[in-house]
Amino acid sequence: MTRREEPRPSARLPTAEDARLLARRRQPRLVFDFIDGAAGTEDGLARNEAALRALRLMPRVLVDIQGGSTTTTLLGREYGVPFGIAPMGMCDLAWPGTDHAFAAEAGMRAMPVCVSTASSTPLEEMISRAGGNAWFQLYVTGSVDAALALSDRAAAAGYEVLVLTVDVPKLGRRPRDLRNGFETPFRIRPRQFLDFALHPRWSIGTLLAGRPRMANYDAAPGAKGYDRKAPRTGADWDFLDRLRARWKGRLVVKGVLSPEDARRIRDAGADAVYVSNHGARQLDGAPATVEALGAVRDAVGPGFPLVLDGGVRSGEDIVKAIAAGADFVMLGRPFLWAMGAAGAPGLARFADGLAEDIGIALAQVGLRHVREIGQGILAPRRG
């Protein structure tokens, strides 16, 4: 009799789409759509995903691939995996305890979690829970001085990497949020009440945990609460210079697609450029990130660190993005879907699956290590 094999843990949440569909059942519509949605027609979101899918990896055979690993180095630190959690505000909306689960997962896996300015947990608590595997993401909302003060606070808390997000001069218009009446602070009208009542596990959990708050904004000196729609125009080239002079750690600028901008950011003294279109939540017509990556890589040169996010859904996508010129890859929505689908165990399973996929993809293309990935593993496209 053959012994029935235990399914691998990752097999229980095998793809990002499995997580997404489960999250859609368990989260109120308003919450699911806030996470899942994008700007305008949402073509930009589909393009991010499709551009990665369109890349092909060339298998190589008869290569001894024993002793491989998924570790990689970025900005002077070794990580266990070449991916991390992109900065996302109000994560605890996805499922109660999401911020804490993200931090724990980051600590366990030596994986960076990028803590948003709009996180539901104070930035000090996040880095401590993540065992130092945390970056801090800065928005300039309202006053420039308040933003600089927040960066000082991040430095005092021990953050070594600051990610300045520059692609939200004005908040994008997201049709699903408009249809659902999503706004902050929340107003619970009969329609939203019904939505919450139909998703009791989320609602009771959220009631017990307390309404997610803007933990950093509330405490920032000079900040008068959080206004999601406030212009974020304070982040200009002068501000970048001021921040570079003040922030002694590694500085990353997020939300860059133009090669000219990337070169100027490098010349202004940033340590890395983060190629992103905010998950297509800002400009529906923006290029897919992996399409923009090649020209950005050419502009900044071969040795300059590039981080990428947008539409990354699998370990193979991560390998493709690195082959196309990124040094490190971040994922946003998929981690929130995993939390929405199955809480912290779901998150762990999904991250396990990503790491496992990377190992398999490396073996298939005849490589042992992430640092060996180059353009050569992409199959040329003809015609």
Ligand X SMILES: Cc1cc2nc3c(=O)[nH]c(=O)nc-3n(C[C@H](O)[C@H](O)[C@H](O)COP(=O)(O)O)c2cc1C
CB 19 within 8 A of CB 340: yes
Q: How far is CA 2 from CA 5, 85, 215, in A?
A: 9, 40, 54
Which among 213-221, 244-252, 275-283, 367-375 is the span making contact with ligand X, rule CB under 6 A? 275-283
Binding of ligand X by 47 (CB under 6 A): no
Binding of ligand X by 29 (CB under 6 A): no
One DSSP character per residue, 303-358 reads TS-EEE-SS--SHHHHHHHHHTT-SEEEESHHHHHHHHHHHHHHHHHHHHHHHHHH
Instruction: Let me know if 100 is a catalytic residue.
Output: no
Site for ligand X in 198-237 (CB under 6 A): none
Nearer to ligand X, 137 or 192 (CB): 137
Query: Where do we find the tokens 């000090």?
Result: 124
CB of 63 to ligand X, least distance (A): 31
Nearer to ligand X, 318 or 342 (CB): 318
Which among 64-72, 86-94, 222-230, 367-375 is the span making contact with ligand X, rule CB under 6 A? 86-94
Binding of ligand X by 331 (CB under 6 A): yes
Nearer to ligand X, 314 or 364 (CB): 314
Binding of ligand X by 180 (CB under 6 A): no
Query: Where do we find the tokens 């009771």?
Result: 204
CB of 356 to ligand X, least distance (A): 19
State the catalytic residue, choosing from 100, 199, 278, 369: 278
Which among 125-133, 179-187, 224-232, 273-281 is the span making contact with ligand X, rule CB under 6 A? 273-281
**Which one of residues 84, 89, 234, 343 is an interface residue with ligand X (CB under 6 A)?**
89
| H or E element at residue 74 | strand 72-74
Binding of ligand X by 154 (CB under 6 A): no
As to burial, measured by CB atoms within 10 angstroms (0-12 exposed, 13-18 middle, 19+ buried), residue 197 is: exposed
One DSSP character per residue, 214-256 reads -HHHHHSTT--S--TTS--TT-SHHHHHHHHHH--SEEEEEEE
Binding of ligand X by 364 (CB under 6 A): no
Query: Where do we find the tokens 């990002």?
Result: 16
Binding of ligand X by 353 (CB under 6 A): no
Q: Do you know the residue count of the chain?
A: 383
Distance CA 367, CA 373 (A): 7
Binding of ligand X by 151 (CB under 6 A): no
| H or E element at residue 41 | none
Nearer to ligand X, 23 or 377 (CB): 23
Binding of ligand X by 292 (CB under 6 A): no
Site for ligand X in 112-141 (CB under 6 A): 116, 118, 137
**Which one of residues 35, 215, 286, 365 is an interface residue with ligand X (CB under 6 A)?**
35
Site for ligand X in 294-313 (CB under 6 A): 309-312
Which among 150-158, 218-226, 274-282, 293-301 is the span making contact with ligand X, rule CB under 6 A? 274-282
- Establish whether the linkage from the previous residue to 231 is cis, with ω within 30° of 0: no
Exposed e or buried b per residue across 133-164, where buried means at least 16 C-beta atoms within 10 angstroms of its C-beta: bbbbbbbbbbbbebbbebbebbbebebbbbbb
**Which one of residues 26, 109, 129, 278 is an interface residue with ligand X (CB under 6 A)?**
278
Binding of ligand X by 44 (CB under 6 A): no
CB of 381 to ligand X, least distance (A): 23
| H or E element at residue 143 | none
| Residues that are catalytic | 278
Binding site for ligand X (CB under 6 A): 35, 48, 86-89, 116, 118, 137, 165, 254, 276, 278-279, 281, 309-312, 331-333
